Amino acid sequence: MDIDFANLQLQYQKYKADIDTNIQAVLNKSNYIMGEEVHELERALEGFTGAKHAITCSSGTDALLLAMMAMDIQPGDEIITTPFTFIATAESIALMKAKPVFVDIELDTFNIDANLIEASITDKTKAIMPVSLYGQPAELDTIQAIADKHNLKVIIDGAQSFGSTYNGKTDSNLGDISTTSFFPAKPLGCYGDGGAVFTNNDEYAKTIKMMRVHGQSKRYHHKYIGMGGRLDTIQAAVLLAKLPYYPQELADRQQVAQRYTDILSDSLQAPVIKLNRSSAWAQYTIRVSNRDVLQAKLKDNGIPTTVYYPIPLHLQECFRFLDYKYGSFPVSEEASKKVLSIPMNAFLNEKNVLLIVKSINTALYSR
Ligand SMILES: Cc1ncc(COP(=O)(O)O)c(C=O)c1O
């Protein structure tokens, strides 16, 4: 029997009664755009994250755009970020006509190397955008200290890390603005596209709310050039049904990760989670030198795996204009050749965890 990577079908079966009831309520009311479920979800997200403001929106990508719009990022501004992330991180910066400035990552956490940031700051730098890759926040204290010293803003791309913590606070409650994605396969996913922006800054919150509805201050009065960036009410209804189960899911993902690490860390490089942090375990990502062989063998055993990400952003065709080359960010380049994400979800039972680790160990030792 094939193992499921994210297990979204089983998850739906578990919460079906709540999800169906919530969706049916929206259908009965036909309040599809900015219905009360959207506002109810935002209050629930504030409660969960501790952030003063949670503003839902149409995707994790749009959440990043809304954050930069609120900060009035201008063409030519520079934003420092990591090249080892999903395209949306740097794409959103480029969409603002700002310039992504890449800084290499730490070998153990795959997150931006905070020690390298200061050397890349220029008089055009406006913000630092760390990504909480695979679910673990970056070195946020150091990043915030650098930002404070140079009068920069911090935007945390928490698309993969909803519910993760750094020094006991969720990463949605840190930085000047933090964002997340509710893409279905994300740790907390809806059933389509969705995202949220978090901030403790009242002015930013006010602006983001206007920006997501075409910069509208009141009906048909447009203060800013904004976007159509709202979360559908049906998606809010799905998330409202799923959120109460999420703390248990996080605990279950943590348990799966711990089992993997306990068994695998003798034979390969298991993920490293720093002591002052917790991961939402969007991915459990190992590092192996014979990745293609291992991936093929696991596939033969019905175990799906994914490579997040095979090409670092500085080597992507769309970013050729930034003039980076192979060798610019060696740690990211090395990671892109070795990383392999194995099945991770809250519904992986002990039997399947053992089957996966056994298949990995067999493949590694039968070379
Ligand atoms: C790090 C990161 N940033 C941004 C995004 C964009 O989120 P969305 O797909 O909801 O637009 C993703 C989604 O995969 C992501 O992984």
Q: Tell me the per-residue pLDDT of 248-304, one tens digit each, with 9 for 90 and over.
A: 999 999 999 999 999 999 889 999 999 999 999 999 999 999 999 999 999 999 999
Is the overall model pTM greater than 0.85, yes or no?
Answer: yes
Bridge partners (DSSP) of residue 128 are 80, 154
Closest CA to 164 of 191, 198, 193: 198
For residues 14-19, average pLDDT: 98
CB of 84 closer than 8 Å to CB of 133: yes
In terms of Cβ atoms closer than 10 Å to its own Cβ (0-12, 13-18, 19+), residue 70 is buried
Residue 41 phi/psi, 5-degree rounding, is: -60, -40
Region of 217 (left: φ > 0; alpha: ψ -120 to 50; beta: rest) is alpha
Residue 340: pLDDT over 80 = yes
Protein residue with least CA distance to atom 4, ligand 1:
88
Residue 366: pLDDT over 80 = no
Distance 179 CA to ligand 1 centre (A): 10
Closest CA to 256 of 366, 347, 194: 347
Distance 59 CA to ligand 1 centre (A): 8
* Cα distance between residue 312 and residue 322, in whole Å: 13
**DSSP sequence for 280-341:** --S-EEEE-TTHHHHHHHHHHTT---B-S-SS-GGGSGGGGGG---TTSSHHHHHHHHHEEE
Among 58-62, 161-165, 309-313, 363-367, the least confident range? 363-367
Bridge partners (DSSP) of residue 287 are 269, 339
Res 267: pLDDT: 87
Structural element, H or E, at residue 359: helix 350-365
User: DSSP state, 112?
Assistant: B
Res 318: pLDDT: 98
* Cα distance between residue 365 and residue 363, in whole Å: 6
Which atom of ligand 1 is found nearest the CA of 89?
Answer: 3
* Cα distance between residue 185 and residue 183, in whole Å: 6
Q: Provide the pLDDT confidence category of residue 1 given band limits of 50, 70 and 90.
A: low
Residue 367: pLDDT over 70 = no
The 10 Å Cβ neighbour count of residue 225 is: 9
Q: Provide the pLDDT confidence category of residue 2 given band limits of 50, 70 and 90.
A: confident
Q: What is the sign of the dihedral through the CA atoms of 160, 162, 164 and 170?
A: positive
60 lines ligand 1 (CB under 6 A): yes
111 lines ligand 1 (CB under 6 A): no
Res 42: pLDDT: 98
Structural element, H or E, at residue 169: strand 169-170
Res 34: pLDDT: 97
Res 165: pLDDT: 98
Tokens of 330: 């060696």
86 lines ligand 1 (CB under 6 A): yes
61 lines ligand 1 (CB under 6 A): yes
* Cα distance between residue 9 and residue 233, in whole Å: 21
Tell me: the pLDDT tens digits for 23-71?
999 999 999 999 999 999 999 999 999 999 999 999 999 999 999 999 9
